[in-house]
Amino acid sequence: MKKLTTILFTILGIIMMANATTFSASSSDFVLIKGGSFTMGSPESEDWRSNDETQHRVTLASFYMAKFEVTQKEWREITGQNPSNFTGDRLPVESITWLEAIEFCNALSKRDGRTPVYTIADGGNMVTWNRSASGYRLPTEAEWEYAARAGSTTPFYSRKVPGAEDVNFYGHYPYQIEQNYFNDEVLETRPGVYRGKTLDVGSFKANPNGLFDIYGNVGEWCFDYYGDYDPSTSSGTTGVTNPAGAIEGTRRVYRGGGWNDFGKNLRSAYRAAMPQNNSAYNVGLRLVCNADDSVKGTVTTREATAATGAKKSAGSGKTLIIFYSWSGNTRGVAREIARQTGFDSIEIELVKPYSTDYNTVLDQAQSDQHKQARPALKTKIDSKKWEEYDTIILGYPNWWASIPMPIATLLESYDFSGKTIMPFCSHGGGRFGQSLTAISKLAPKANLTAGLSIHYTGGSSLSKDVEKWLKKCGVSQK
């Protein structure tokens, strides 16, 4: 019966394709990605995979995808503005929200005489996608991975792990460097240069589909809300057809990694996520458009808080600074925040503290992250006391491009639903890495503000940097 159903759906798809109206690419800067089926996600044997990368079969219709990420020149021509952290006409636009990205798609569609794809309502809390429209849009998560893989089943589209000569990323940390940090000569791809900025689009060789910078430079917004893949779609040869993600959520997906990401977060299956109203200096967009109108209907997505009236914090408006510090850098930032605000402050202590030796703690930290350990916390907060706080200012060192695992323990030990998280971190050059994604995934019902990243101790500018961030987040200072 299951086989017969698959055959019927395949026949129906062929009939729909035969009757479909075809669209042309807007320019030679788009390539046709021919439809087909593939296995999305990563096998359990893939090193540094996340639990949200469950493998499942997906079938997609053909679509056009831009060879390059949208540049700042292209963005400015449509919007009249350039929000980017780095500036240059051929640099990819970044520091844009998901909502700004789809508004750009609609505006560009109108300019080029194409039918806009998105209808935006309720202040952006409701977005409807006309799936047969000819206009520009964001790729779905499945389309992005299909195009990036280009038929591959390995962590990257190439058999060889990409290095700094292939991709603009945190080149000091290629794939699998974490467990080989003190013995990197065993790696096929050795550490390389870290540029610490975006580069002109098309600076490196394209993938087999003709797509430049599909890994690195900037992450690329996708249409989908972040959520677990549906296990019911994994059976059969076709699996799920033209998926568009959940219809409700609190985080939108972006893919591909950016200029400050480690090699493990460039993998084809890696999933990053962020609230749709947030932006980051390493996230931009790449355009796609339909090759035909064979995929019919509309998809309406809603912000979970708007759709379900998600639980709001019942606190008394109080704010808590809570942080984990190893070397003292994060502690110094926390103290400056407390000095300027007068907020309560708690430092996280562990039942079994990490080593005080730098080399040893590097290995302990990567090992815990690799196995997603949850170190026991010596620090405990009374549940009634916890309920008093509406806002949590959450601090940590950026360890191996993510949060230290004690922060993961904290996020899973307390209810953050309806609370606002203001993240800050100390770092050695990678800013937040993928730590904001980790927080987004572990506390999906919390509001997440713009973060503050401090290079080591912050130096003489620490006080002003903290003051500026607090004002941006609307926090009153004493």
DSSP 78-91: HHS----SS--TTS
> Nearest to residue 158, comparing CAs of 208, 228, 96?
208
In sequence order, the 6+-apart residues with CB closer than 8 A to the CB of 113 are none
- Say which residue, 9 or 391, is predicted with more confidence: 391
State the average pLDDT over residues 407-433.
97
State the average pLDDT over residues 42-51.
97
- Does the domain made of 21-308 have the CATH classification 3.90.1580.10? yes
On whether the CB atoms of residues 189 and 173 are closer than 8 A, the answer is no
On whether the CB atoms of residues 116 and 298 are closer than 8 A, the answer is no
Tell me the per-residue pLDDT of 419-431, one tens digit each, with 9 for 90 and over: 999 999 999 999 9
Dist CA 19 CA 132 (whole Å): 13
Across the chain, mean pLDDT equals: 93
Q: Residue 1: its pLDDT value, please?
A: 44
Please, what CATH class does the domain formed by 318-472 belong to? Answer: alpha beta
User: DSSP letters of 247-282?
Assistant: SEES-EEEES--TT--GGGGSTT--EEE-TT---TT
State the average pLDDT over residues 359-378.
97
On whether the CB atoms of residues 268 and 149 are closer than 8 A, the answer is yes
The residue assigned the tokens 């203001």 is 422
Listed by start position, the domains of the chain span: 21-308, 318-472
State the average pLDDT over residues 317-332.
97
Tell me the per-residue pLDDT of 242-276, one tens digit each, with 9 for 90 and over: 999 999 999 999 999 999 999 999 999 999 999 99
Residue 350 has pLDDT above 70, yes or no: yes
The residue assigned the tokens 């499945």 is 142
In sequence order, the 6+-apart residues with CB closer than 8 A to the CB of 169 are 162, 215, 216, 257, 258, 259, 260, 261, 262, 263, 266
Task: Identify how many contiguous H helices and E strands the chain contains and give both numbers.
Answer: 11, 21
- Say which residue, 20 or 166, is predicted with more confidence: 166
> Per residue in 53-76, is it b (16+ CB within 10 Å) or e — as a string?
bbbbbbbbbbbbbbbbbbbbebbe
Q: Residue 473: its pLDDT value, please?
A: 96
Tell me the per-residue pLDDT of 112-141, one tens digit each, with 9 for 90 and over: 999 999 999 999 999 999 999 999 999 999
Distances (CA, A) of 208 to 60, 146, 163, 212: 18, 12, 17, 10
For residue 343 the two structure tokens come to 């907020």
Q: Residue 19: its pLDDT value, please?
A: 65
> Nearest to residue 256, comparing CAs of 2, 462, 68, 448?
68
Tell me the per-residue pLDDT of 76-101, one tens digit each, with 9 for 90 and over: 999 999 999 999 999 999 999 999 99
Residue 14 has pLDDT above 50, yes or no: no
On whether the CB atoms of residues 401 and 265 are closer than 8 A, the answer is yes
Residue 314 has pLDDT above 70, yes or no: no
SS3 category, 462: helix
Tell me the per-residue pLDDT of 48-73, one tens digit each, with 9 for 90 and over: 999 999 999 999 999 999 999 999 99
Q: Residue 232: its pLDDT value, please?
A: 65
Q: Is 78 exposed, middle or buried (0-12, 13-18, 19+ CB in 10 A)?
A: middle
CB-CB neighbours of 349 under 10 Å? 12
Dist CA 262 CA 430 (whole Å): 9
User: What angle do helix axes 405-413 and 435-442 make, rounded to 10 degrees?
Assistant: 20
Dist CA 306 CA 57 (whole Å): 32
List of E strands, 364-459:
389-397, 420-427, 447-448, 452-455
Same fold, 21-308 and 318-472: no
The model's pTM is 0.94
Dist CA 59 CA 101 (whole Å): 26
Q: Residue 390: its pLDDT value, please?
A: 97
